[in-house]
Amino acid sequence: MKFFIDTANIDEIKEAKQLGILDGVTTNPSLMAKVGIKGEEAIREHYRKICELVDGPVSAEVISTDYDSMMAEAKALASIDRRIVVKIPMIPDGVKALSALRDEGIPTNCTLVFSAGQALLAAKAGATYVSPFIGRIDDITWDGIALIEEIVEIYEIQGFETEVLAASIRSARHIVEAAKAGADIVTCPLASIKGLFKHPLTDIGLEKFLRDFRQSQG
């Protein structure tokens, strides 16, 4: 399973990269707003900086909702760097754009996916990645991980090549469950990645090893 970081924050991307486990980055308009990037050229420049840091796919989301504008925006985003993957929302014009972008060889990430039917449409339209939002599904007491399992099963049965990118991760547990469910990728906040490290027995064990070593050396 590949690990992407779900942020537009350069320091967080650097920190995840230093761990040596980073395969890519996803952003969305809310994450870009959070780091205070304003204006078209500033946004392009920020994506350039992210792409320089990461040797892997970097998802950049369109903000248009009609086909023609989405296509123009997608092409402009894709021209920033070869690593850019264009994020397209799961709406009818978005599905149309996914298949047109596939024909033009531009990689895509279909976002805001909340059902197996939507994931089926995304794969049929040739999306490179599909992003089911597991945290937001759990937030309304449905089962986000069950959706990942269902999509993985459908894609396997049907032989779709679209990769399942578990998004809207809220915890380290979500990452483990997404891996068990067969997700190809998880995109996570840095805090959830760091949560994977934590175990009190590791801390207690390390402290004892070091104490025993110090004592044995007098």
Contact residues: ligand E4P, CB under 6 A? 6, 26, 28, 111, 131, 133, 135-136, 167-168, 187
The residue (of 192 and 206) whose beta carbon lies closer to ligand E4P is 192
Residue in the shown chain whose Cβ atom is closest to ligand E4P: 168
Q: From the CB of 5, what's the least distance to ligand E4P, in Å?
A: 10
Answer yes or no: are the C-beta atoms of 87 and 28 closer than 8 Å. yes
Among 192, 54, 61, residue whose Cα is nearest residue 129: 61
Q: From the CB of 10, what's the least distance to ligand E4P, in Å?
A: 17
Q: From the CB of 165, what's the least distance to ligand E4P, in Å?
A: 7
Whether 87 is a known active-site residue: answer: yes
Measured CA to CA in angstroms, residue 174 lies from 78, 108, 133, 135 at distances of: 30, 24, 11, 8
The residue (of 107 and 135) whose beta carbon lies closer to ligand E4P is 135
- Given the residues 2, 17, 87, 198, select the one marked as catalytic: 87
Amino acid identity of 181? Answer: A
Among 84, 159, 163, 83, residue whose Cα is nearest residue 130: 163
